[in-house]
């Protein structure tokens, strides 16, 4: 369904999203859009049901409110692309910070998380049509899961839930049931995630952005094999 995100009364984006955990979605989206630096930058968040969809209204703190005008979008986005309405290549490919926390875990942790992933996806068990984004400990224990029809939305929901619960990555990693796109790499870096694991292949731009930021990647992850393309 369409989910509109408003920031301080301005319409910012319309996402096609699975209509659950929408506050989490808005928090994560605001962080990965670089509108906020943390949960404390959001003073209030409310979901309003409207005909045909939902509106999530965010009230951002005054110290970050100037960022909205620079990034307000005037076109609808969807679950497969976060770039519609971006006015320049410079805006689409802004520099990423270098990660302070680097991946120190083993590939065995990825295999452990993969083994447990299926039973932690209730919506996908019912539909076989949605993605999952999971926060995993450095040992591979799944700490938190969010699901959505769109892989970007699922990751934003996960990041937003972690923000709201004051959870950090703790040296762990994100496991996503999708390919490794550059947008997912950017979300991982901006949330401080040391390593991103995906079950499908990376794009060339994803590899470039991950290397530049120091993000470890594990791709084409299966129960007994994976690739380490960013090393």
| Token duo for residue 111 | 């295999």
What are the Cα distances from residue 82, in Å, to 9, 32, 181? 21, 11, 11
- d(CA 101, CA 194) in angstroms, rounded, equals 6
pLDDT digits (tens, 9 = 90+) for 166-177: 999 999 999 999
pLDDT digits (tens, 9 = 90+) for 19-64: 999 999 999 999 999 999 999 999 999 999 999 999 999 999 999 9
- 81: annotated active-site residue: yes
Count CB-CB contacts under 10 A for residue 212. Answer: 14
- Residue linked to tokens 């380490």: 228
- d(CA 4, CA 225) in angstroms, rounded, equals 40
| Token duo for residue 194 | 């040391």
- d(CA 146, CA 191) in angstroms, rounded, equals 15
pTM of the predicted structure, to 2 decimals: 0.92
What is the bridge-based pairing of β-strands 173-176 and 195-198? parallel
Q: Which of 7, 81, 84, 136 is catalytic?
A: 81
pLDDT digits (tens, 9 = 90+) for 96-148: 999 999 999 999 999 999 999 999 999 999 999 999 999 999 999 999 999 99
């Amino acid at each position: 369904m369409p989910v509109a995100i408003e920031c301080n009364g301005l319409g910012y984006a319309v996402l096609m999203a699975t209509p659950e955990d929408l506050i989490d979605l808005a928090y994560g989206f605001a962080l990965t859009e670089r509108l906020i630096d943390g949960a404390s930058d959001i003073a209030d968040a409310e979901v309003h049901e409207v005909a045909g969809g939902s509106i999530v209204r965010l009230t951002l703190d005054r110290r970050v409110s100037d960022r909205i005008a620079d990034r307000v979008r005037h076109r609808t986005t969807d679950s497969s692309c976060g770039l519609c309405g971006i006015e320049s290549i410079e805006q689409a490919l802004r520099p990423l910070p270098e990660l302070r926390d680097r991946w120190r875990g083993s590939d065995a942790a990825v295999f452990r998380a993969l083994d447990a992933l299926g039973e932690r996806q209730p919506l996908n068990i019912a539909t076989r049509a949605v993605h999952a984004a999971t926060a995993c400990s450095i040992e591979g224990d799944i700490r938190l899961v969010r699901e959505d029809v769109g892989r970007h939305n699922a990751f934003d929901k996960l990041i937003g839930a972690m923000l709201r619960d004051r959870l950090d990555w703790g040296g762990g990693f994100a496991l996503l049931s999708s390919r490794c796109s550059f947008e997912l790499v950017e979300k991982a870096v901006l949330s401080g995630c040391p390593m991103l694991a995906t079950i499908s292949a990376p794009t060339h731009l994803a590899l470039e952005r991950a290397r530049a930021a120091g993000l470890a990647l594990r791709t084409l992850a299966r129960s007994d094999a994976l690739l380490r393309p960013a090393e």
